[in-house]
Amino acid sequence: MLPYFSSDFGNPSSLYGIAQVARNAVDKSREDISAILNCRPSEIVFTSGGTEADNMGIIGVAKALYANGNHLITSKIEHHAVIHSMEELESQGFDVDYLNVNKNGLISISDLEKKIGPKTTLVSIMYANNEIGSIQDIANIAKLIKEKSIQFKKDIYFHTDAVQAPGKLDLDVKKLGVDMLALSAHKINGPKGVGCLYLKKGTPVSPLIVGGGQERQRRSGTENVPGIVGFAKALSIAELNKNKFNNHCEILKNKFISCLNNLDAEILIASPLENCLSNVVNLCFENFEGEPILIGLDMAGICASSGSACSSASLEPSHVLLAIGIDPKIAVGSVRFSFSLQNSEEEIIYLEKKLKDIISELKSSIKI
């Protein structure tokens, strides 16, 4: 990325020599990403990240298809980048169905089948969930949507938020059968503030950002050249290391799960045991709130996250945990642990020890 901040700082849309160096770097990055996604380079639209890619694939496409119908379908466990895009469209006259999921975080294909009707133009179902790690059967969902398109004699488009998938799951858009797929660089050790939308050739889109007409009129604004270069490199590395990453993280995750019995607490594993990202496990510590556990972990140098968001002084349980049927009182005790190639088995032992200390400290302070 460094040369594109300094010696090769040209604007890819200009005509002078250093601009061409920047243009070539963007083109090469687009080609590298499209090779991993098994699509044409022109089907990649660079964005400011996963949120914008989701907004574009949902708001941009639904608006362009408005004349064909105003009915959209998604699930209850989507990231807010999708849920809030849907809510925005509802405020503009669209009807949205939010599908239930089972305790493993999976939608039911037959529920989806019942909801698709003559006014449906777009379905958005995430590939892998960011809070619990559940992986949807995207290829089968796509197959159903194609069958329904034939039945209703109209195109029904399928968007997937795949932000959590790179380096863990197959990103071949042809095998997945999707029309739009959103990615973000920072989930794979790439730079923050850059991502892309795979937009299948022929998919109508009404641009969210208008101006100079970059990205084939689909997303205006001078390209973030260092970010795009870093994104393509991060995606190539993640793809190359996929098997190694999954094997390593499964070992760490299993080791961690097997030591949970040694902790003096009631713990509910909110993540599914099958069809789950290799690197994610979400635990609900019953009788505790997630936040003090996170603070204790942070003081021990361990970075984890909570599914709860603190709003107006009350701890709101995560919409994902509620959707998989977890009691709100238990859901507030959620902590999500995620592992990577940078973690070791020794660190799992350290994590177990620190969790023991935190639990005993919290118990003595709240006298459970």
Task: Provide the annotated active-site residues.
Answer: 310
Q: Residue 227 and residue 1: Cα distance in Å, rounded? A: 7
Nearer to ligand PLP, 98 or 288 (CB): 98
The CA distance from 82 to 90, in Å, is 12
End-to-end CA distance of the chain: 52
Q: How far is the CB of 259 from ligand PLP (least distance, A)?
A: 27
By beta-carbon proximity to ligand PLP, the closer residue of 146 and 319 is: 319
How near is the Cβ of 304 to ligand PLP at its closest, in Å?
15
User: Cβ-count burial of 127 within 10 angstroms (0-12 exposed, 13-18 middle, 19+ buried)?
Assistant: buried
**CA 267, CA 334: separation in Å to the nearest integer?**
9
Choice between 80 and 174, CB closer to ligand PLP: 80
Sheet with 157-161, edge to edge strand ranges:
44-47, 195-199, 180-184, 157-161, 120-124, 71-75, 95-99
**Which C-beta is closer to ligand PLP: that of 80 or that of 114?**
80
Name the site residues for ligand PLP (rule: CB under 6 A): 49-51, 54, 79, 81, 126, 130, 161, 163-164, 184, 186, 195
CB of 10 to ligand PLP, least distance (A): 26
State the nearest-atom distance from the C-beta of 321 to ligand PLP, in Å.
Answer: 15
The distance of Cα 300 from the centroid of its chain, to the nearest Å, equals 28
Q: For residue 151, count other CB atoms closer than 10 A to its CB.
A: 11
Q: How far is 163 from 110, CA to CA, in rounded Å?
A: 25
Q: Which residue is nearest to ligand PLP (CB)?
A: 50
Considering the complex, state which of residue 148 and residue 336 has its C-beta at the smaller distance from ligand PLP. Answer: 336
Pair of tokens at residue 180? 């739009």
Query: From its phi and psi, is residue 61 left (phi > 0), alpha (psi between -120 and 50) or beta?
Result: alpha
One-letter amino acid for residue 139 of the chain:
A
Distance CA 319, CA 334 (A): 12
Q: How far is the CB of 131 from ligand PLP (least distance, A)?
A: 8
The residue among 49 and 317 lying less far from ligand PLP, judged by its C-beta, is 49
Q: CA 317, CA 145: separation in Å to the nearest integer?
A: 32
CB of 163 to ligand PLP, least distance (A): 4
